[in-house]
Amino acid sequence: MGAIFLNIYFDWLAMLTAGIISLVMLYGFSNLKLFFQPLPSPK
């Protein structure tokens, strides 16, 4: 019972970590694209 619970917990933790990392990468990539635009962004 404990091993199954730990297995599910670590699977969920790995999925959550992968999702957060992909979101951070997408967010950083869009920020880099906005930051390196040839035209200055309006403020």
Q: Are the C-beta atoms of 35 and 27 separated by less than 8 Å?
A: no
Q: Write the CA distances from 41 to 24, 30, 31, 34, integer angstroms.
A: 22, 14, 12, 8
User: Is the predicted pLDDT of residue 41 greater than 60, yes or no?
Assistant: no
Written as six digits, the tokens of 43 are: 């403020």
Proportion of the chain above pLDDT 90, given as a percent = 40
With a threshold of 0.85, does the pTM exceed it? no
Q: d(Cα 18, Cα 16) in Å, to the nearest integer?
A: 5
| pLDDT 10s digits, 10-30 | 999 999 999 999 999 998 888
Cα 4 to chain centroid distance, Å, stands at 27
